[in-house]
Amino acid sequence: MLNPLRFLSYLARYGRHPAFCQRLRRPVTIEWIMPFVESGQRVLEIGAGDGQTISFLARRFPTKQFVACEQNKTQIERLRARCKSAGTSNVTVVETDFREYAQDRPFDLVYAVDVLEHVADDFDFLLRIREMLRPGGNLFLHVPAPGIAVFEEPDHVRPGYEQDDLKALLEKAGFEIRRMGYTFGQRGLCCHHSRVRMSRLRRMIVHLLDLADDNKVRSEIGVIAARAEHPTHDPRE
């Protein structure tokens, strides 16, 4: 059931976010990672796309350092144009496969939204992220859950993850789970994939109602995991 106070809180915090006229996963991402952006200094987005999320964060936190990793040339052009239009000078765009990116310093936060289901060797991918995080640094993942037909795409190497499987994979890679849960409600799931044109205001209302509703459906999973300083076993064994 929708909590009115929670809805008003979301409206005050995210009501002007430009992502509300696009995909629900963007405001979901911002809601989950905002505290870790505030407390950290260096942030990496893997698969930054056209840069809506990272440009918003860069404007909000002008003293933080952001790196956007993307290999699609069309998306990179849009990303650079968006950052230029927003006047953000604290975003470094890296045009490469994430696994080939050699950073100069560790990150406080790494996030990847709907990326892991495209990666054949997801375990090695997580190990690479762990190497790029400082001890105690945080990772945010957003992935589909299996069995939701609207998320089935040709370039997905797996249909998604169950929460238990994702938890086991992250722990094996040397992470500790801080928060995990389903992120979409029924309104957002329908709106996210609707082919019906809707006004920005209507999309914003639908998304806010969905974000503030505790009743989620098993469609997509969000997880915050911290790099464990002392893993229970060697992640590479």
Q: Is residue 21 pLDDT above 50, yes or no? A: no
- Is residue 188 within 8 Å of 210, Cβ to Cβ? yes
pLDDT at res. 61: 94
Q: Note whether residue 236 is domain-resident.
A: no
CA–CA dist 145, 153 (Å, integer): 13
How many distinct structural domains can be found in the chain? 1
Q: Where does the pLDDT of residue 180 fall: very low under 50, low under 70, confident under 90, or very high at 90 and above?
A: very high
Report how far residue 101's alpha carbon sits from residue 115's, in angstroms, rounded to the nearest whole number: 16
- 232, part of any domain: no
Is 235 a member of any domain? no
Mean pLDDT, all residues of the chain:
84
Range of the domain at 202: 4-226
Classify residue 106: in a domain, yes or no: yes
* Structural domain includes residue 108: yes
What are 159-173's pLDDT values in tens digits?
889 999 999 999 999
Question: 81 vs 207, which has greater pLDDT?
Answer: 81
Identify the residue whose tokens are 């037909």: 149
In a domain, 233, yes or no: no
Domain with residue 166: its CATH number is 3.40.50.150
Helix ranges, the chain (H): 4-14, 25-39, 52-60, 73-86, 122-132, 163-172, 186-192, 200-211
Is the per-residue pLDDT at 150 higher than 60? Answer: no
Average pLDDT for 43-64: 93
d(CA 237, CA 228): 16
Q: What type of residue sits at position 38?
A: E
Assigned domain for 195 exists: yes
131 domain residue, yes or no: yes
Which residues touch 125 (CB under 8 Å, ≥6 apart)?
Answer: 98, 99, 116, 119
Residues of the chain above pLDDT 90, percent: 51
Q: In whole angstroms, what is the distance from residue 7 CA to residue 9 CA? A: 5
pLDDT of 29 over the 70 cut: yes
- Between CA 85 and CA 59 the distance in angstroms is 11
Whether residue 119 contacts residue 157, with contact meaning beta carbons closer than 8 Å, is answered with yes
Each residue's pLDDT tens digit, 83-141: 998 889 999 999 988 888 888 899 999 999 989 999 999 999 999 999 999 999 999 99
Strands 175-182 and 107-113: unpaired
